[in-house]
Amino acid sequence: MSPGQGTFDASTLRELVRDDRVHRRVYTDPDVFALEMDRLWGYAWIYVGHESQVPKPGAFLTTTLGAQPVIMVRDHDERIHVLHNRCAHKGAKVATAPCGQTSVLRCPYHGWSYNLDGSLNTVPHSVGFEGTGFNPDSTAFHLSPVARVARYEGFVFAQLHDSGVTLEAFLGDTRRTIDNVLDRSPTGKVSIAGPCLPYLHDCNWKMFVENLNDAVHPMVAHASVGAACREYMEVHKPDAPPTEAEIIFPFGSSYEFFDKMGVTALPHGHSYMGGKSSIHSSYPDIPGYYDSLVDRHGEEKTKEVLSQNRHNTTVYPSFTLKDAIQALRIVRPISVDRTLIETYHLQLDGAPEALLHRTITYSRLINSPASMVGPDDWDCYTRIQEGLGSHGTDWVYLGRHLGRDQVDGEATTALGTSDLSARNQFRAWLQYMTAHAADGYGP
């Protein structure tokens, strides 16, 4: 626990999160951030990677779970481990490359090496440890595994502490988004295609996550791209809008359009927009693709699969997936005002290349740090981070359509422009933050 965290008892934390507003400290206070890393990122299931990124024994990738550096590695029995990236000896990270292939995980400092399951392989010149507290069989001298690792359809998640909730229960209805991506593959298989696209943000991680299902901002923050598309059409008068404009233009859609899409909030802070109609529902078909899905599913189910369009399914706090686009983004908090977003792309096995090309084009046009969309979001997040330093007022207001939600079992739905998803995130946030970490309790 870092200095200052002790000042956050449950009642103080409850003061920061009200039904319709949150205190600016949740975004700006480094002590709140440190506590989030312990209690929220320490207990939620956090996305680590896709199994296709470690395709064979010895393949590994490095990432972070909250503030914790970890290695995801496949061993010779095809088991996938998530290990703390910290040599049991003096603490050096044993791997620093984003990904690689190895026979053992070897620390470059004194040469301690570890097997792919994290157990100790060899320690050079170990004679000096004889008769000391050193014990090669003790897990204290292994790369320690994180508390739990589980896979859902190839998507690997891990928990730093065991919260008692299974991954399937945690994912809940968001599994239908992952299922839909697999259903869109003519063989039922998907894999990560190519490198990721990193984008460093000068803001608290929650601003990015809240924005995923914020349907009020596009018409304002992305107004210029809508205007640019209209201007293009007027000047060039093409017979039909070019693909590029079709991708960008919906980001300037009307409030009514987004209201109709709707937003659905789920337990554990998860949510998604749309379902049947989203900003991705009017993309043209790619020749041959529909037929290959009919071969697998039959006509009726194929139509059902292609009609599901959930915009930005958010698995709180670390992962967001677009089923119709097959792009996923990972949230990696660095500090209270710095967040790395990594975008990955899924290739649908057996589908025409053109489908992957569309996924990539979409992502480049929307998620790239050099796109015409991402930098406007980036700018707004940065302004918020800077503005919340102001003592003008302490509160961030999240009250749009408060009290007008519709409850349907575990799901709560509202008009798309409702602040429901942000309120739902903070409900989960407060549950994680006020739970006693020492008791292993999570929401």
Which residues in this chain contact other proteins in the complex, by CB under 8 A? 193-202, 221, 223-225, 227-229, 231-232, 235-236, 242, 244-245, 248, 340, 343, 345, 347, 353, 356-357, 360-361, 363-365, 368-372, 374-376, 378-380, 382-383
Question: Measured from the CB atom, is 298 or 369 closer to other proteins?
Answer: 369
Least separation, in Å, of the C-beta of 377 and other proteins?
Answer: 9
- Across 67-89, b (16+ Cβ under 10 Å) vs e yields bbbbbbbbbeeeebbbbbbbbbb
387 Cβ neighbours under 8 A, 6+ residues apart: none
Least separation, in Å, of the C-beta of 407 and other proteins?
Answer: 36
Burial tier of 228 (Cβ tally within 10 Å: 0-12, 13-18, 19+): middle
Least separation, in Å, of the C-beta of 349 and other proteins?
Answer: 14
Name residue, tokens 């991680």. Answer: 205
What would the two tokens of residue 326 be?
């097959």
Least separation, in Å, of the C-beta of 367 and other proteins?
Answer: 8
Question: Measured from the CB atom, is 60 or 251 closer to other proteins?
Answer: 251
22 Cβ neighbours under 8 A, 6+ residues apart: 16, 395, 396, 398, 426
Question: Measured from the CB atom, is 356 or 411 closer to other proteins?
Answer: 356
Q: Any bridge partners for residue 267, and if so which? A: none
Q: How far is CA 413 from CA 105, 129, 170, 401, 416, in A?
A: 47, 61, 19, 11, 9
Question: Measured from the CB atom, is 279 or 355 closer to other proteins?
Answer: 355
Least separation, in Å, of the C-beta of 248 and other proteins?
Answer: 7
Least separation, in Å, of the C-beta of 91 and other proteins?
Answer: 24
Question: Measured from the CB atom, is 143 or 341 closer to other proteins?
Answer: 341
Question: Measured from the CB atom, is 131 or 287 closer to other proteins?
Answer: 287
d(C-alpha 228, C-alpha 260), whole Å = 25
With contact defined as beta carbons under 8 Å apart, do 411 and 271 qualify?
A: no
